[in-house]
Amino acid sequence: MELPRPRIGQSISELSTPLPLIDEEKLAANIARVQRYMDSHGLAFRPHIKTHKIPAIASQQVKAGAKGINCQKITEAEIFATAGFEDLLITFNILGSEKLERLAALNARISGLKVVADSETTVRGLSSAFSQARPLTVLVECDTGGGRCGVQSPEAAIALAETILTAPGLTFGGILTYPKADTEEAVQAFFAATLAGLAVRGIPCPIVSNGGTPSLFSAHKVTSATEHRAGTYVYNDRAMARSGHCSLNDCAMHILATVVSRPTEGRAILDAGSKALTSDLLGFADYGMIVDYPDAVISGLSEEHGTVDLSKVQGRRPEIGEKVRIIPNHTCVVSNLFDVMTFHRDGIVTRLQEVAARGLVW
Amino acid sequence: MELPRPRIGQSISELSTPLPLIDEEKLAANIARVQRYMDSHGLAFRPHIKTHKIPAIASQQVKAGAKGINCQKITEAEIFATAGFEDLLITFNILGSEKLERLAALNARISGLKVVADSETTVRGLSSAFSQARPLTVLVECDTGGGRCGVQSPEAAIALAETILTAPGLTFGGILTYPKADTEEAVQAFFAATLAGLAVRGIPCPIVSNGGTPSLFSAHKVTSATEHRAGTYVYNDRAMARSGHCSLNDCAMHILATVVSRPTEGRAILDAGSKALTSDLLGFADYGMIVDYPDAVISGLSEEHGTVDLSKVQGRRPEIGEKVRIIPNHTCVVSNLFDVMTFHRDGIVTRLQEVAARGLVW
């Protein structure tokens, strides 16, 4: 069955909804702005592909100056390896014989594969699947306050680095963190103490990797870092605008939706529900911002319906059949819902891109 | 690139994660239990395919006695029409010339297509795309308190039925609601008043359609209804157990996940994040229930990580590499995230089914 798709050259105002749209100019400006910042501070930049999941966008990022890319899954890395990328970092503890076998096959194909570990269990597993003939590079993930994965202290980071160094089939590649926003001092302190301990032991630490979009423009304060990773900056979203990273006008992704019902004076129903916007609130009280009606509140979502409270909208209210554009709370999760992404320039469709790494679970 | 998939006959304990699993026996029992209830009350039953999105499951439902199926999108209905289903109800206001054209093509293929409308705008649009040679059946959607789509009063329902009756190319098919749970009295009152008004005008109303899983076993209280629609009952989930529709033991879908990190004594990290569980809270404070550790709390999700608070877990706590099973808050949204669903009986994989209607946006 052939699914309906936008055509190149169509006006976005004609397109059927719900549909995420990427503004080419905003996309290019977001890529250029962050790369310029990284270049000016001598920081290597490693975009996280989770936000777009599209090799052609990663190519734009690398062409602008990114040194490599960041994936979260083995199968994502496989897709990007096939598309020609060599410097691939998978920021996940990989466990289990099936996955380790597949990881080893990938490592045999490309020269720049790297993964992370935050426990001896993960390191022993990795070691069991690799050999000195083609070793795997492993970075130690550090919890500098983000509260997700990572060793809890510089001492633990040093100890795990030593375990990696002595584990057959592995190479110690460096240290890494996914920090909370605006905690550059804590990251710097953790990294500096770890690096000092490694130096005392004569252990070289090639990569010192910091990450995150929300306080990306403070990345230079972590003077010990050699590289920064970020994903969301490429499209930006409502949460990034709130964090101060960008303005709402820098959000390259809009969700085009249609008003399908106006049951009451104060209520509109959109054809964009959680299958288009996701339920990610990220601290907001509602599910996205309607650009055309900023006082409207997307107060509830079911899978195919968005319920909009219009009670605070002064003047004209949207009519049945009218199309509106929504800035999503969180852009990365939207990419995972759609098989194809539609790009436009000045409202004219420029290209469609398959979201090649959507829905990958390994 | 060939993606890794479970094999028939494998033990689910060996499978790589994250992975949703459907228990064949619970699935069959859920289908049988609800059909038995509907049969005992003489209510026609119309399962909503949104929960599974798989024609083979819809076939099980129809084989058990369901009269037809409910879809939410034209392209979903196309997939199920191709799979041989004829009695298809699309419960959505369909607007826009591209979609109307596609809807007309579908109506030409099957005999039992029906849609809903809750406004004159929607009815006029539908009428413009259909002709008396092959008319489209349209039901009036009523808002009986659900607060989503629907006309607001029996008088408005009657008026819209009259509009449909006089609109070229359309046939009036009946009335429909998607109610709030436990409001059978309100639904009955709305339907009865509408039916009385239609009867006075001599307008036959073939279908009177009520819906929803949470208070499904009270559906017989809506004595005016001819049919009931429900989706979630087929798999069931944590929200349905809370509503009293089922027990946690009736939840046919579990998400198999692996503990990939134990950064602290009180924290575990799973490889199931919002890409596996979705961010749907549905009023819960956490993102699913870990069957094996019911006192553990899935306190936060990022796309690929689930953060688990273990502080209330007495005794043994999960170790790195250990697999756990999670009952999701909301099962329907999980189906939309995965290309393939894995079924098992007593822990042995019985079949894989493509989630054929996943990610459809039209």
A187 shares a domain with A71: yes
Model pLDDT for residues A266-286, shown as the tens digit of each residue = 999 999 999 999 999 999 999
Q: How far apart are the first and last CA of chain A?
A: 28
Q: Which residues of B touch A361 (CB under 8 A)?
A: 17-19, 275-276, 338
CA distances in angstroms from A314 to A292, A311, A317, listed in the order given = 12, 8, 8
Helix, strand, coil percentages, rounded to 5, for chain A: 35, 25, 40
Indicate yes or no: CB of A307 within 8 angstroms of CB of B339.
no
Contact A260 B337 (CB under 8 A): no
Q: Phi/psi at B309 (nearest 5 deg)? A: -90, 115
Residue from the list B75, B305, B361 with its beta carbon closest to the beta carbon of A338: B361
Do B147 and B273 lie in one domain? The reply is no
**Selection from A75, A33, A67 nearest residue A50 by Cα:** A75
Query: Rounded to whole angstroms, how far apart are CA atoms B335 and B327?
Result: 13
pLDDT tens-digit readout, A57-110: 999 999 999 999 999 999 999 999 999 999 999 999 999 999 999 999 999 999
> Which neighbouring-strand residues pair with A294?
none
Contact list in B for residue A48 (CB cut-off 8 A) is none
Q: Residue A4: pLDDT above 90?
A: no
Contact A194, A207 (CB under 8 A): no
Tell me whether residue B287 is in a domain. yes
pLDDT, tens only, B177-210 = 999 999 999 999 999 999 999 999 999 999 999 9
Closest CA to A3 of B88, B339, B78, B104: B78
Asked if the model's pLDDT at residue A3 lies above 90, the reply is: no
Do B177 and B276 fall into the same domain?
no
Does residue B48 belong to any structural domain of this protein?
yes
Confidence category of residue A45, pLDDT binned at 50, 70, 90: very high
Whole-number Å distance between alpha carbons of B22 and B253: 5
Q: What is the CATH number of the domain that holds B68?
A: 3.20.20.10
Q: Of the candidates A278, A304, A360, which has its C-beta nearest B279's C-beta?
A: A278
Model pLDDT, residue B4: 87
What percent of chain A clears pLDDT 70, i.e. is strictly above it? 100
Of B67, B12, B22, nearest to B229 by C-alpha is B67
Residues A170 and A252 in one domain: no
**Per-chain mean pLDDT for chain B:** 97
Is residue A33 a part of any domain in this protein? no
Compare CB distances from A274 to B78, B333, B362 and report the shortest one's residue: B333
What is the reported pLDDT for A2?
Answer: 84
Is the model's pLDDT at A1 over the cut of 90? no
**Residue A71 parent element (H or E):** strand A69-71
Which residues is A343 bridged to in the sheet? A22, A351
β-partners of residue A227 are A44, A209
Beta-carbon contacts of residue B296 (< 8 Å; ≥ 6 apart): B268, B290, B308, B309, B310, B312, B313, B318
Q: Is B1 exposed, middle or buried (0-12, 13-18, 19+ CB in 10 A)?
A: exposed
Say if residue B299 is in the same domain as residue B227.
Answer: no
Q: Touching check for B19 and chain A: CB below 8 Å?
A: yes
Residues of A in contact with B319 (CB under 8 A): 121
Residue contact A258–B96, C-beta within 8 A: yes
The reply to whether residue A361 touches residue B151, judged by beta carbons under 8 angstroms, is no
Chain B, 254-283: which have a CB under 8 Å from a chain A CB?
258, 260-264, 267, 269, 271, 274-276, 278-281
HEC string of A223-252 equals CCCCEEEECHHHCCCHHHHHHCCCCHHHCC
Examine the domain organization and report whether B285 and B337 are in the same domain. Answer: yes
Mean of the pLDDT values across residues B105-117?
A: 97
pLDDT digits (tens, 9 = 90+) for A260-269: 999 999 999 9
CB contact under 8 Å between B333 and A275, yes or no, is yes
Give the type of residue at A333.
Answer: V
The CATH number of the domain holding residue B341 is 2.40.37.20
DSSP B245: S
Subunit contact A321:B275, Cβ cutoff 8 A: no
Q: Do A149 and B99 touch (CB under 8 A)?
A: no
Whether the upstream peptide bond of residue B18 has omega within 30° of 0, thus cis, is yes
Same domain for A71 and A218, yes or no, is yes
Shortest Cα–Cα distance, B302 to chain A (Å): 9
Which residue in chain B has the smallest CA separation from A2? B75
A119 touches chain B (CB under 8 A): yes
* Same-domain status, B114 and B256: no
Residue ending a domain, choose from A201, A235, A269:
A235
The type of residue at B82 is T
Return the number of other C-beta atoms located less than 10 Å from residue B156's C-beta: 18
CA–CA gap between residue A299 and residue A286 (Å, rounded): 5
Q: What is the pLDDT of residue B41?
A: 98
Query: Whole-angstrom Cα distance, residue B343 to residue A247?
Result: 46
B249 touches chain A (CB under 8 A): no
Q: Quick one: pLDDT at residue A246? A: 98
- For chain A, say whether B160 makes contact (Cβ under 8 Å): no
CA distance A96 to B271: 12
List the 288-327 stretch of A: residues with Cβ below 8 A of B.
302-305, 307, 319-321
Beta-carbon separation of B18 and A361 below 8 A: yes
Domain shared by A16 and A53, yes or no: no
The residue among A73, A275, A331 with the most chain B CBs within 10 A of its CB, best to mutate, is A275
Is A35 a member of any domain? no
Would an 8 Å CB–CB cutoff place B228 in contact with chain A?
no
Q: Say if residue A41 is exposed, middle or buried (CB neighbours under 10 Å; 0-12, 13-18, 19+).
A: middle
Answer whether residue B185 is part of any domain: yes
CB contact under 8 A, A148 and B118: no
Q: Which pLDDT score, from 0 to 100, does residue A194 have?
A: 98
B361, A275: Cβ pair inside 8 Å?
Answer: yes
What number is the average pLDDT over the span B232-252? 98
For A189-230, what is each residue's pLDDT tens digit?
999 999 999 999 999 999 999 999 999 999 999 999 999 999
Residue type, A265: E
- Positive or negative, the CA dihedral A151, A44, A327, A324 is negative
CB within 8 Å: B121 and A302: no
Q: How many helices (H) and strands (E) does chain A have?
A: 10, 17
Q: How confident is the model at residue B242 (pLDDT cuts 50, 70, 90)?
A: very high
Residue of B nearest to A18 (CA): B361
- Closest approach of chain B CAs to the CA of A53, in angstroms? 13
Q: Is any Cβ of chain A less than 8 angstroms from the Cβ of B119?
A: yes
Yes or no, beta carbons of B338 and A321 under 8 Å apart:
no
pLDDT for A116 equals 98
Q: How confident is the model at residue B174 (pLDDT cuts 50, 70, 90)?
A: very high
Residues of B in contact with A283 (CB under 8 A): none
Q: If you count residue pairs, one on A and one on B, with CB atoms under 8 Å apart, how many are there?
A: 178
CB contact under 8 A, B336 and A337: yes
Which two structure tokens, joined as six digits, stand for A209? 């990797």
The model's confidence at residue B344, banded by pLDDT at 50, 70 and 90, is very high
Count of structural domains, chain B: 2
**Residues from chain B contacting residue A102 (CB–CB below 8 Å):** 4
* Pair (A231, A251) in one structural domain: no
The pLDDT of residue A89: 98
Residue A152 binned pLDDT confidence (cut-offs 50, 70, 90): very high
Exposed, middle or buried: residue B262 (CB in 10 Å: 0-12, 13-18, 19+)?
buried
Q: Which of B19, B75, B260 sits opposite A95 (nearest CB)?
A: B260
| Residue B68 covered by a domain | yes
* pLDDT at residue number B2: 84
Q: Report whether A308 contacts A326 (CB < 8 A).
A: no
In a domain, B340, yes or no: yes
**Residue reference for tokens 């469709």:** A349
**Do A167 and A305 share a domain, yes or no?**
no
Task: Quick: pLDDT tens for A306-334.
Answer: 999 999 999 999 999 999 999 999 999 99
Q: Which of A209, A235, A261 is the last residue of a domain?
A: A235
DSSP output for B165-184: HHSTTEEEEEEEE-PPTT-H
Q: What is the pLDDT of residue B128?
A: 98
Q: With contacts defined as CB-CB under 8 Å, which chain B residues touch A17?
A: 96
Residue span of the structural domain in which A154 resides: 41-235
How far away is chain B from the Cα of A40, in angstroms, using its nearest Cα? Answer: 31
pLDDT (mean) for B134-162 = 98
> Given this model, what pLDDT does residue A358 score?
95
A80 Cα to chain B: minimum distance (Å): 11
Query: Where is the domain boundary, A175, A208, A235?
Result: A235
On whether residue B219 sits in a domain, the answer given is yes
Q: Are residues B172 and B274 in the same domain?
A: no
DSSP state of B4: P
Mean pLDDT, chain A, as a whole number? 97
